[in-house]
Amino acid sequence: MYVCICNAVTDRDIRAAAQVGVRSFADVRSSTGCSDCCGSCEDVARAVFDEAVAAHARPLGLPVFAQAA
């Protein structure tokens, strides 16, 4: 889905950035152009990015409660 209409940035673009090692939203903004125009997409873009970083950090894709066991 399109997250940033102004710059045609999709959720896949944001997830791809997280997968290749981008670890700050400022870097997502500079590499994709997401949320650097009107800013109305920032909340959704940050949520997608935070989710992608968290999913990438989990070993073997296990749910959070399984990591504690």
pLDDT of residue 63: 61
Q: What angle do CA 46, 48, 51 make, to 5 degrees?
A: 105
d(CA 51, CA 12): 12
Average pLDDT estimate for 35-42: 93
Domain ranges of the chain: 2-67
pLDDT of residue 55: 85
pLDDT of residue 12: 97
Q: Is the pLDDT of residue 59 over 80?
A: no
Q: Is the pLDDT of residue 26 over 70?
A: yes
Report the CATH fold assignment for 2-67. Answer: Arc Repressor Mutant, subunit A (1.10.10)
pLDDT of residue 28: 94
Q: What is the 3-state secondary structure (H, E, C) of 34-66?
A: CCCCCCCCHHHHHHHHHHHHHHHHCHHHCCHHH
Q: Please tell me which residue, 15 or 67, carries the higher pLDDT value.
A: 15
